[in-house]
Structure 1
Amino acid sequence: MILDSPTAANAYLLGYVLLFGAAAAACFASVPRARAIGHEGTRKGLVALLLTSGCWSVAHLGFLLAPTVTLKLVFYHVGLLVGLSTVGPWLYFCSAYTGRSLHKSVPIRRAAVGVFIAISLVKLTNPLHHRYYRAEVLLTPFPHLSIVSQELHWLAMGLAYSLSIVGYFMLFELFRQVGHDTTPLLGLVGLTGLPIVLDALAIVSPTVLNITYEPLGVAAFAVGVLFVFVEDFQTVQLTGEQDDPVIVLGDDGRVRDFNVNAGELFPALEAGDTVESADPGLGSFLDGAENDDVLELDTEAGRRYYRLGVRSFTTDGSRLGRSVTLTDVTEREEYRRELERQNERLEQFAGMVSHDLRNPLNVAQGRIAFLREQGDDEHLAATARALDRMEVLIEDVLALARQGQSIAERERVTLSAAAADAWDVVDSGPSTLTVESDGTVLADGTRFQQLLENLFRNAVEHGSASPDSQARQDAVEHGGDGVEIRLGVLDGDAGFFVADDGIGIPVADREAVLESGFSTSSDGTGLGLSIVTEIVAAHGWEIRVTSSDAGGAHFEITGVEVET
């Protein structure tokens, strides 16, 4: 059909110009909104898809409006290259949006560039082989350049659509994974299929131009994804990017979406309802809960604990929503609560020891002191020493019960300052302490000082060559030789050490000395170094016994971040 007048022909042409012009304008106008998307990979992919789609439509405008055949072919070739390039951003968007890492793979990127270059060369060399398209001037429905696609064009289109289907598969898989309605996605997919209808009509009807209509479908899809993304795609991404139960709430507090795991955990959840109507317990918990709070639930599998994670997001630039993630921390929470129960039992035990044993012990010590004033009896002296040993044993047992409790808060502690305080309470006699290198650690200050006290006391009392504690004590009281104790930071700031120049610890006993009840002297409690071990463990550190350069004992505490 030939149009009767130039006016009618121009009107027909104008319709095509407006169609492709609107597609280009919609793509370019949507770019600022796409740049506001928070997820980086999704943002980059969608912005690139909008830009390439818009440029593809602009190339078609140039093809339609160019005054000469040569110039029309230039625009057509530009459109071929830009149109092919839209596949890359589309797959990039799908991979990033669905939480995959395909868009980050260097081999995949290189392969994509290689395929793009190969197909581009086939298109650009068409004047030599005419296997991609043939061009002819037609007068209907108005004078224009008609493009008749050849076999290489259909092969390239088949590859492009195959790759596009891979992207659709990624999206559908995510939508189905989170149990979301796929209707919006199906609608967008339908938009991309409309150009195929126009392509088919162009073959059978002379009133439809025989050109590529794919820019219209891609533009409609890109713009549609952007606007549906704000209300729909974003919630799917939030609920599908992790395996934990996720509930997406709107700014009005109503449920916008949730994934399959959340639906299984809370069967009454419904989109559009409030959380309270689905589960009153969850609703009241969310009202005043903060990040990392723990929700306790009775489920069919028993009592479970979930750590709360809340993340805000923008739905349209002004409205705010939040995604609520519930991470199963049952094992960790049960362990923590068991530790609390153990600590409570230890406190009760410590209170019992302090009250039920210390009180009668004090009475006995007082009575013996009174009797000794009446006469110096060696039996009373021996009894007094036994009672003194019982008091030391009670103190050590109390310390052991309390030092193993978990550390709640830590502070910056300087080695030299803590060592000075510890050394002041140790009956060191002629022994000396040298801080070879200083540093700062994060620790419980009181327990850290107790750790150093016990290591210093162990060196003073057990570093002497005499195996008898009374002989060692007599030597100390009469100015005998003491031990030289050194404190410093380990190489690499991986911890600190306490070493002495005493008799050392035999290799066979180096693990046993850290256990409760082990002592090399007849009157030792065997709890001093055990308390050190408990304090080290409570901080999450490790302790090792070796030999010092001087042949004495060398204690290394590692796993400590030391600032020097």
Structure 2
Amino acid sequence: MIQLLGAGGSLLAGSGLPTPTFLTYVLAFSLAAVICFAAIPRARAINAADDTRNGLVALVAISGVWAALQVGYLAAPTLSLQYGFYIAGLVVGLSTVGPWLYFCSAYTGRSLHDNPTYRRIAIAVYLVIVSIKVTNPIHGLYFTATPTTTPFIHLMIDHGTLHWLAMGLAYALATVGIFMLFELFAQVDYDTRPFVGLVGLTALPVALDILGSISPNVIDMSYSALGVAAFAVGVLFVYTDRFETIQLAGQYDSPVVVLGDDDEIRDYNRRAAELFPALKDGLGEELATVVPTLSQCPNNEAVIELEIDGETRYFQSTTSPFSASRVQLGRLLVLTDVTAQERYRRQLEAQNERLEQFTGMVSHDLRNPLNVAQGNSEIIHELLTAAQTDDGRYEPLTPDTLETIDTAAETLSRTLQRMESLIDDLLVLAREGQEIDELERVSLAAIGENCWAMVEGKAATFVVDDDLTVEADPDRLQQLLENLFRNAIEHGGRDVTIRIGALDTETGFYVEDDGPGIPADKRDNVFESGYTTNREGTGFGLSIVSEIVAAHNWRITLAESSTGGARFEIIIDSDDANTDDAPSADTDVVDTTTDTDAVDTTTDSDRSGK
């Protein structure tokens, strides 16, 4: 409905020069239209997925048309033209909601814009609302128009209830898009403040819309095209690279660093700054100067090792070209935490190395006793064959022949026993180096006493200086202590004293004796497989100890005890052990010597390296 002011529907005739307010309105919407149309080529050139680019192009193009129609509504010379421009603006303005949601969904990595059901519902709702708008001249339920001269001569619009319902729906949907963007901004850990401001500009016209409905000094019309124009300027002309970086970063939940053409640091996210605090003061500086570790990463995939809170973690670095408006600006460096995979890979490598080592030791260490056994069996066979007659009987053997056969048989028996010991130790060595599945909190003193009961002998002495609670595999810890005890007895003498206790300066425990000790120049060799100073030994006792220590992620060192004997120190990470008081009622030293002297723990097992 139009209530005419003046004959022929002419509103501006005889009104004089345009007022400054009128010129401000026309200039603002004209500028918005020009900006939107100028932004179309820039939007088409952004380095983004097709759906993101298409949504942005449609948004700025339709917003440009909308702003141009608003200029027509303000500046048309007749009421009828103003009325027509206004209805056209209502139709086009509502259609901007679709591209806005399409763009927001695509930019934030969602698939809502591809859902056919949502599309059909959106089109149906749009057509219903548009039909109400374009038929307003018939029913007048959407708005009424009345000429006015405040704040300048124009066609004043009085909106009906249907308009407010439609506008509420449009702004609610636009808010959904804003929420999607803000959610992405919160996730990517980048400095998104410029874009928060730009998105805020798209919502600012809502205040003008509300003010226009209550104040005669502000025209009651839609100002949203102005907000879209400001958003387009910011995204496509000022912060283009940041706009594309944020979308790329939204694809990663990992540390990301953006590098320029000359590898200068252009941007980074919070996760990257947590790993490399130097990034915070390194914007614009070369990566090699700020974070040398990252600069050494090749262009292809590489794994770097970092110490984080005392834990070794592994990150795979990948780089990819980074472009803005299809012009390459540098590289995107992404670090992916592959600690679990790298540990598993290294575990497999260690197992393969142990398998190769096991195979080599079997072929090397068993070959000599096998040759000895074969040689002695051949001697016995030859002597018996020589004594055999044609009828299958044996002639009486001479004393020398019997002695030779007896010597060969004894040698053969000892050799087979040695081969059995070698095989047993090799199997233990292979088993003890395997990964530990579960750890238990156990008492060092209790395990030590159990081990001592398993060690044969009557003359050695076992003393617990103080106790320690450790997280360990009880069976392997017992094997470790048994080997160290036997090692001490084998090389320290039948009356050796063996002591265990907690370390003073580090978390861990020691096993020491008062024997002759190990020369300093031999200490680097004692943990090698097959190394022994005992002709009857296999040389695997301390190798097994070393494998058990490695399986627990502990460390072992060899030093000299206060009495000149050997002192083995096992260092445990501080999170894996707790020192407790020894369970003695009268003293902090537990002496488990039996009888009046000591327990003799002489054994046939060898001591590697001593």
Which runs of no fewer than 5 residues in structure 1 stay unpaired?
384-389, 391-400, 402-564
User: In 1, are the aligned partners of 2:46 and 2:324 still within 8 Å (CA)?
Assistant: no
Q: How far is the alpha carbon of 1:73 from its aligned partner?
A: 2.8
Larger Rg: 2
Asked if 1:87 corresponds to 2:97, the answer is: yes
Aligned to 1:261, the other structure's residue is in SS state helix
- Per-residue deviation at 1:233? 2.4
1:349 aligns with 2:393: no
- Helix, strand or coil for the counterpart of 1:9? coil
Query: Following the alignment from structure 1 to structure 2, what is the Cα–Cα distance between the partners of residues 162 and 285?
Result: 45
Cα separation, partners in 2 of 1:365 and 1:298, compared to 1, 3 Å: same
Instruction: Give runs of aligned pairs for residues 95-134 of structure 1, distance below 5 A.
Output: 95-134=105-144
Aligned-pair identity in percent equals 54
> What is the distance in 2 between the residues matched to 1:148 and 1:342?
82
Query: 1:77 and 1:308, CA in 2 relative to 1: closer, same or farther beyond 3 A?
Result: same
Measure the CA separation in 1 of the matches of 2:101 and 2:238: 18
**1:25-40 residue pairs with structure 2 within 5 A?**
25-40=34-49
SS at match of 1:35: helix
Matched, 1:138 2:148: yes
TM-superposed CA distance for 1:362, in Å, is 7.3
Equivalent residue for 1:296?
Answer: 305
| Shift in Å, 1:80 | 0.9
- The offset of 1:194, in angstroms, is 4.7
Deviations 1:360-407 (Å, cap 9, x if unpaired)?
76798899999999989999xxx9xxxxxx9xxxxxxxxxx9xxxxxx
**Residue 57 (structure 1) shift:** 1.4
Once the two structures are TM-superposed, the CA of residue 109 in structure 1 deviates from its matched residue by 2.4
Give the Å deviation of 1:279: 9.0
- Match in the other structure for 1:232: 242
Residues in 2 aligned to 1:67 and 1:277: alpha-carbon distance in whole angstroms:
62
Could you list the per-position Cα deviations for residues 402-428 of structure 1 after superposition, in whole angstroms to 9, with x for gaps in the alignment? xxxxxxxxxxxxxxxxxxxxxxxxxxx
Cα deviation, residue 317, structure 1 = 4.5
Q: Which residue of 1 aligns with 2:583?
A: none
- Post-superposition CA distance 1:308-353 (Å, at most 9, x none): 1212211355451222211111111111112212222222333334
State the secondary structure of the residue aligned to 2:317: strand
1:501-529: CA deviation from partner (whole Å, max 9, x where unpaired) = xxxxxxxxxxxxxxxxxxxxxxxxxxxxx
Other-structure match for 2:84: 74
C-alpha distance after superposition, 1:470-505 (max 9, x if no partner): xxxxxxxxxxxxxxxxxxxxxxxxxxxxxxxxxxxx
- 1:183: Cα distance to partner? 3.1
Equivalences for residues 204-283 of structure 1 within 5 A: 209-270=219-280, 272-273=282-283, 282-283=291-292
Aligned residue among 286, 301, 308 for 2:317: 308
Choose between structure 1 and 2: higher helix proportion. 1
Structure 1 contact 180–236 (Cα < 8 Å) conserved: yes
State the shift of 1:181 in Å.
Answer: 3.7
- Looking at structure 2, the residues matched to 3 and 128 of structure 1 have their Cα atoms a distance apart, in angstroms, of 26
1:23 maps to a residue whose letter is A
1:150 aligns with 2:150: no
SS in 1 for 2:73: helix
AA matched with 2:141: R
Cα distance in 2 for partners of 1:58, 1:238 equals 34
Q: CA deviation at 1:50?
A: 0.8
Aligned length: 384
Letter in 1 for 2:359: A
Contact persistence 1:253–1:274 (CA under 8 A): no
Q: Distance in 2 between matches of 1:185 and 1:61?
A: 28
1:202-232: CA deviation from partner (whole Å, max 9, x where unpaired): 5677665443332222222233232344142
> Which residue of 1 is the match for residue 405 of structure 2?
none
Residue correspondence of structure 1 range 481-560 to structure 2 within 5 A = none
Work out the CA distance in 1 between the residues paired with 2:37 and 2:105.
23
Deviates more, 1:56-65 or 1:6-15: 6-15
Amino acid of the structure 2 residue aligned with 1:158: G
Q: TM-score, normalised by structure 1?
A: 0.58
- Distance verdict in 2 for CA 1:159–1:229, change over 3 Å: farther
Residue 526 (structure 2) aligns with: none
Equivalent-residue separation in structure 2 for 1:3 and 1:39 (angstroms): 47
Matches for 1:357-376 after TM superposition, within 5 Å: 357-358=366-367
Report the Cα offset of residue 169 of structure 1: 2.0
Q: 1:100 to 1:204 in 2, by over 3 A?
A: closer
Q: Is the 8 A contact 1:269 1:278 kept in 2?
A: no
Query: Residue in 1 aligned with 2:545?
Result: none
Could you say if the C-alpha distance between residues 338 and 71 of structure 1 is closer, same or farther in structure 2, counting changes exceeding 3 Å? Answer: same
TM-score by length of 2: 0.54
Q: Is the 8 A contact 2:12 2:78 kept in 1?
A: no
Change (3 A) 1:336 1:46: same
Q: Does 1:321 align with 2:330?
A: yes
Distance 1:265-1:275 versus aligned 2 partners, 3 A rule? farther
In the alignment, the residues of structure 1 paired with residue 223 and residue 349 of structure 2 have an alpha-carbon distance, to the nearest angstrom, of 69
The CA deviation at 1:243 is 1.6
Q: Which range moved further: 6-15 or 28-37? A: 6-15
In structure 2, the gaps of 5 or more residues are 1-10, 395-411, 413-418, 420-429, 431-610
Residue in structure 2 matched with residue 163 of structure 1 by the alignment: 173
Partner of 1:270: helix, strand, or coil? helix
On the 8 A contact 2:257/2:269 being kept in 1, the answer is: yes
C-alpha distance after superposition, 1:424-471 (max 9, x if no partner): xxxxxxxxxxxxxxxxxxxxxxxxxxxxxxxxxxxxxxxxxxxxxxxx
Partner of 2:543: none
- Whole-Å separation in 2 of the counterparts to 1:254 and 1:215: 38
Q: Is the Cα–Cα contact under 8 Å of residues 132 and 153 in structure 1 kept in the other structure?
A: yes
Pick closer, same or farther for the CA change 1:166–1:283 going to 2, 3 Å: farther
- The 1:8/1:244 distance shift into structure 2, 3 A limit, reads same
Q: Give yes or no for contact 2:47–2:325 (8 Å, CA) kept in 1.
A: no
Determine the C-alpha separation between the residues in 1 that align with 2:90 and 2:65.
11
Following superposition, the deviation at residue 68 of structure 1 comes to 4.2
Higher normalized contact order (CA 8 Å, seq sep 6+, divided by chain length)? 2
* Secondary structure class of the residue paired with 1:291: coil
Q: Does 2:295 correspond to 1:286?
A: yes
Q: 1:371 to 1:193 in 2, by over 3 A?
A: closer
1:251-286 CA-partner distances (Å, limit 9, x unpaired): 343333333332333344317536878996x53343
Of 361-370 and 6-15, more deviation after overlay is shown by 361-370
Relative distance call for 1:301 and 1:155 in structure 2 (3 A) is farther
Pairing partner for 1:53 from 57, 63, 66: 63
1:84-128 alpha-carbon deviations (Å, 9 max, x no partner): 111111122222222223222333323322322222222122223
Distance 1:196 1:331 in 2: 51
Shift of 1:139: 4.9
Identify the residue that residue 558 of structure 1 maps to in structure 2: none
**Deviation per residue, 1:21-61 (Å, 9 max, x gap):** 32122112111111222221321221111111111112223
**Secondary structure class of the residue paired with 2:336:** strand
The RMSD of aligned alpha carbons is 4.0
Alignment match of 2:349 (pick from 340, 356, 359): 340
Q: Aligned partners of 2:150 and 2:368: how far apart in 1?
A: 114
> What is the CA distance between 1:201 and its match in structure 2?
6.1
Change in Cα spacing, 1:183 to 1:154, as seen in structure 2 (3 Å) is: same
Shift of 1:20: 2.3
